[in-house]
């Protein structure tokens, strides 16, 4: 064995670890101080993310976001309201690999089953209490009643929910390691897709009658 063989192996290990860390990141690393997202259709350079505003036109307000000072309405079938704080709502987040939502739940309200394909999620309860849970790829359900000041983490891409188990309104801030984590609602994706998933496929998948599928679809059609 040559004397430089151990160092070659060490170099290989370091390279593999660096590559693994890079591949596991939700968003690419920025290559400049900031890249405030420009309005759609404005052109301009695009470092990983959306096109940048010219730095000469960036102002302090581009790094400020006030929409979370008030919550979204919970006067709906789910009893929930989500105020997004991703790069589409908060342009200063562009290329920074982070975003934050506000989740408001009426008593008995639920932020229904959904997943975020591009980010893990940290749920921090500010007011009230929520049952927060997710299902792993092995079909195991993990959950916890999370109270004011407590947090629960949801791994990237896994189906999860928040449900208000208290007698009063609840509020949480949810933080993501992506500027645009994306969201896929289970019911809407399966029963409200356009074009529709065939009734026969869903009936077979859920082992129910096709008439039940038609009923569920009628409740998930857009508009």
Q: Does 88 show up as a binding residue in the annotation?
A: no
CA 120 to chain centre: 7
Residues whose CB is less than 8 angstroms from the CB of residue 20 and which lie 6 or more positions away in sequence, other chains included: none
Q: Is 178 left (phi over 0), alpha (psi -120 to 50) or beta?
A: beta
Q: How many CB atoms lie within 10 A of CB 159?
A: 18
How far apart CA 169 and CA 147 sit, in angstroms, is 12
Half-sphere exposure of 209 (CA within 13 A, CB side): 3
Q: Does 101 show up as a binding residue in the annotation?
A: yes
Helix axes 210-220, 199-206, angle to 10 degrees: 110
CA 141 to each of CA 47, 55, 115, 145, 155: distance values in angstroms, whole numbers, following the listed order: 38, 47, 14, 13, 13
Q: Does 160 show up as a binding residue in the annotation?
A: yes
Q: Does 116 show up as a binding residue in the annotation?
A: yes
- Helix, strand or coil, per DSSP, at residue 63: helix
Q: Does 114 show up as a binding residue in the annotation?
A: yes
Residues whose CB is less than 8 angstroms from the CB of residue 59 and which lie 6 or more positions away in sequence, other chains included: none
Going by the annotation, the residues of the binding site for oxalate are 101, 111, 116, 121
Going by the annotation, the residues of the binding site for Mn(2+) are 114, 116, 121, 160
Going by the annotation, the residues of the binding site are 101, 111, 114, 116, 121, 160
């Amino acid at each position: 064995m040559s004397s430089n063989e151990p160092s070659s192996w060490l170099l290989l290990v370091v390279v593999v670890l660096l590559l693994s860390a890079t591949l596991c990141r939700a968003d690419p690393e920025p290559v400049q101080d900031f890249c405030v997202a420009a309005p759609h259709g404005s052109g301009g350079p695009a470092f990983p993310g959306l096109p940048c505003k010219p730095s000469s036109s960036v102002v302090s307000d581009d790094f400020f976001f006030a929409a979370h000072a008030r919550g979204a309405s919970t006067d709906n079938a789910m009893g929930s309201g989500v105020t997004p704080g991703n790069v589409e709502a908060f342009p200063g987040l562009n290329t920074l690999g982070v975003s934050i939502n506000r989740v408001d739940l009426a008593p008995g309200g639920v932020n229904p089953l959904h997943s975020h394909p591009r980010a893990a999620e940290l749920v921090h309860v500010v007011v009230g209490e929520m049952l927060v849970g997710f299902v792993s790829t092995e079909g195991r359900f993990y959950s916890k009643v999370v109270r004011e000041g407590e947090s629960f983490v949801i791994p990237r891409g896994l189906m999860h929910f928040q449900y208000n188990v208290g007698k009063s309104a609840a509020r949480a801030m949810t933080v993501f390691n992506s500027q645009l984590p994306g969201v896929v609602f289970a019911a809407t994706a399966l029963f409200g897709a356009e074009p529709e998933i065939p009734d026969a496929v869903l009936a077979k998948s859920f082992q129910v009658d096709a008439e039940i599928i038609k009923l569920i679809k009628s409740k998930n059609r857009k508009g």
